[in-house]
Amino acid sequence: MREYMNKNLPVEERVESLLSLMTAEEKIAQMTQISYNAVSGEEYERFLNLGIGSFLHVLGEDTQKIREAAQKTRLKIPPIFGIDAIHGHCLLNGATIFPSQLAVSCSFNTELIREMGRVTAREVATDGLDWTFSPVLCIARDLRWGRVDETFGEDSYLIGELGAAIIDGYQCDNLIVACAKHYLGYGEATGGRDAYDTEVTERKIRELFLPPFKRACDAGCGTVMTAYGSIDSVPLTANADILRGLLKEECGFGGFVVTDWENVRALMTNQMVVSSIKDAAKTAGEAGNDMSMHPPKVYACMVELANEGKIDMKYIDDAVRRILRVKFKLGLFDGKAEIPRSVIACEEHRRVNMEITRESLVLLENKNNILPLKNFGDSKTIAVIGPNADDIRAQYGDWTYFSHPEPKENVIPENDYYTVLRGIKTVFKDSNILYNEGCDIMDSSRESIAEAVEAAEKSDVIIAVVGDCLKQYGEFRDRADLELSGAQFDLLKALKATGKPFIGVLINGKPLCIEWLKSNCDALIEAFNGGDLGGLAVAELIAGRFNPSGKLTLSFPCCSSQMPCYYNLYEGWHGGRYMDVEPGNVYDFGYGLSYSSFEYDNLRLSKNVVSRDEEITVSVDITNNSGIDGKEIVELYINDVVSSIMTPVKQLRGFEKVMIKAGDTKTVTMKIKPEDLSFINKNCERTIESCEFEIKVGTSSKEYLTAKLTVE
Ligand code: NOJ
């Protein structure tokens, strides 16, 4: 038996032993990822026989064929199969589809997000796959950007915490590895334009964009994906400071870096920093990209470079070591545990999905406590109106088999899914339900509005389900205008004019301009893209079968140009407002209602004066003043009152989700570690300065109690 096949040896020894046997071609094959959909025929066969390192977007039995081909190569190095299992194993029709990453972020529930990762890993593993290109750790601060739905929202700290939770979930059973992406600053591209240049300083990188990735490294994330774009004109793919320096050396990342799709070629074709793909391959390899995701031509270029002595083998060896390390750790050489296909969408997975879907919903308005709907029996009629009321594609959102790897128009979902319409019919089974689409999201024709109004007039309550559709977000689909599109606004106004009680439900990939809805609805629910069970959870919330507990992880602007609007924006000298719109956001980060009402009192610190290396404890008493048990998300913000450079007036540094029984008071205790008081100074160093701090604990980024802390 070859030494590296001995599973009793430590991983590092196995890696070195295998590396010492490999030719340059075999090493470079490991650094290559082939797309199962973009390469075919003879070329595909050739790569199979070469023992290529990785394939992406293979499903089902085809993985087996590829593994068998790898077994026929000289060193029998197993390939690693990657897939975009972003909110469940969504490219497989029939698998559990969770709410989008943005939706689940609103749960602030690290335990459930971890479970979502674990469930996804099990379903991905049944297909013989080893690697998900998830989570997205980009910060969504420009809402025009097309990929806001894929993020955990606008706050760097929260993203780090939720990212670490899902990474742990993906990797805890050692079935698959996670991939933290898109490294770095991708969501902050100029003007919210996908894959553009990001104009940020090194200080800001260290303050905001790096910490979630550092957190991912500390959580043991196996891989990182290089973003498409550039930072201050330097393409990420060519950026040795960011890849080798920051990630591998400073953050101590021990896994491997894969490029995003065609990043290497883009150095020549889009970013034009080299004039040939061969130079692109050299630049990318030297900068610290360990594996190139498509096109296969990069393989041939790298081999030429190596044979001509034009690339230092130390870069290739470093990359291959990293890739082999991940493969050995994952057990690919030793035969991974097999997961039966029966786990796909099984009861346990559905239960986890139901729980997280419920906790992801955010109740934005509930005027006069109209919700939960009371006494809605058989004598009642409910009008369910709107283009997203019965559209499973809008409800699933991006990165499912409907949209990837290729857009598909006519697929019938194999699993049991609930749109809002089906949810309402199920939960209010004795009531009379009238459904009308009312209008389209893209087409502004008003033709069907009259019919919708007719249905509304015959009803006791209107549930209007509006939002956006798959054509309006995702890669290549940034939006300049965040108003409700098509004839949705006219539809809503016509429904409102009926004078009937009016509940709005939003199914959307990102915050839209909903000021009118806020003022005119009786209740409003933000559901984002809720996955399989989104429609059922919305109906249950309306019926009061559970108590909502989600809070927004993004702020909502009043109009498209009131941006950016994130909560930790600097105040500015002149109020930071536009003279032609009301100041303030429509909804703020961290906001969300419950059927319970919570009162905060008695905020106290274990010490009010501390030294720079001391940890302190913050406690607050929270009373549930209502007659219903409820979960509250407790948010902790810190303000460094006077610092050598400007810092935000509040910065999230902790949160807890707690269940408080009706009438009970609970003391919630959170820790503040010295680093929570730190910031990156003008010399790009992390520092804690002696001064006054404000510790704010409350129910949203706008409502909190404040205690003073002095650091000496
Ligand atoms: C492009 C996307 O930017 C990335 O998120 C994804 O994982 C890869 N392509 C693979 O599909």
Residues 173-226 have pLDDT tens digits of 999 999 999 999 999 999 999 999 999 999 999 999 999 999 999 999 999 999
Q: pLDDT band for position 42 (50/70/90)?
A: confident
261 lines ligand 1 (CB under 6 A): yes
pLDDT digits (tens, 9 = 90+) for 451-478: 999 999 999 999 999 999 999 999 999 9
576 has a pLDDT exceeding 90: no
Question: What pLDDT is stored for residue 420 in this prediction?
Answer: 98
Give the number of the atom of ligand 1 that is nearest the alpha carbon of residue 181: 5
Question: pLDDT tens digit string along 281-314?
Answer: 999 999 999 999 999 999 999 999 999 999 999 9
CA–CA gap between residue 66 and residue 81 (Å, rounded): 10
Contacts of 148 (CB under 8 A, 6+ apart): 102, 140, 187, 473, 509, 510, 511, 554
CA neighbor of 551 nearest in space, from 660, 702, 421, 398: 702
Looking at every residue in the chain, the average pLDDT score rounds to: 96
Cα 439 from Cα 629, distance rounded (Å): 39
What is the structure's pLDDT at 409?
82
Q: Which atom of ligand 1 sits closest to the CA of residue 133?
A: 7
- Is the CB of 181 inside a 6 Å radius of any atom of ligand 1? yes
- Cα of 553 vs centre of ligand 1, distance in Å, is 23
- 417 C-beta closer than 6 A to ligand 1: no
d(CA 253, CA 705): 39
Q: How far is the CA of 527 from the centre of ligand 1 (A)?
A: 25
CB of 260 closer than 6 A to ligand 1? yes
Q: Which atom of ligand 1 is nearest to the CA of 182?
A: 5
pLDDT at 62: 87
Mean local confidence (pLDDT), 621-642: 98
Query: Is residue 399 lining ligand 1, measured as CB closer than 6 Å?
Result: no
Q: pLDDT at position 244, please?
A: 98
**475 Cα nearest atom in ligand 1:** 3
Residue 44 has pLDDT above 90, yes or no: no
Assign 61 a pLDDT band (cuts: 50, 70, 90): confident
Closest ligand 1 atom to the C-alpha of 150? 5
pLDDT digits (tens, 9 = 90+) for 501-552: 999 999 999 999 999 999 999 999 999 999 999 999 999 999 999 999 999 9
Atom of ligand 1 nearest to the CA of 82: 10
E-strand stretches of 421-574:
432-436, 461-467, 502-507, 523-526
pLDDT at 250: 97
Give the Cα separation of 467 and 390 in Å (integer): 12
Please report the pLDDT score of residue 375 as a whole number: 83
Q: Tell me: the pLDDT tens digits for 219-229?
A: 999 999 999 99
b/e sequence 499-525, b meaning 16+ C-beta within 10 Å = ebbbbbbbbbbbbbbbbbbeebbbbbb
Q: Is 188 in the pocket of ligand 1 (CB under 6 A)?
A: no
Q: How far is the CA of 36 from the centre of ligand 1 (A)?
A: 14
Ligand 1 atom with minimal separation from the 134 CA: 7
Cβ–ligand 1 distance for 333 under 6 Å, the answer: no
Q: What is the pLDDT of residue 407?
A: 87
Q: For residue 400, is pLDDT > 90?
A: yes
Q: Quote the pLDDT of residue 699.
A: 98
Q: Is the CB of 123 under 6 A from ligand 1?
A: no
Residue 378 above 80 pLDDT? no
Q: In which residue are the tokens 């128009």 written?
A: 409
Q: How far is the CA of 344 from the centre of ligand 1 (A)?
A: 24
**Residue whose CA is at the smallest distance from ligand 1 atom 3:** 260
For 140-166, how does the pLDDT look when each residue is reduced to its tens digit (9 = 90+)? 999 999 999 999 999 999 999 999 999
d(CA 126, CA 337): 10
CA-closest residue to ligand 1 atom 11 = 84
84 lines ligand 1 (CB under 6 A): yes
pLDDT of residue 446: 96
Distance 261 CA to ligand 1 centre (A): 6
Q: What is the pLDDT of residues 679-708, one digit of tens each?
A: 999 999 999 998 999 999 999 999 999 999
> Tokens 């629910």 sit at which residue?
525
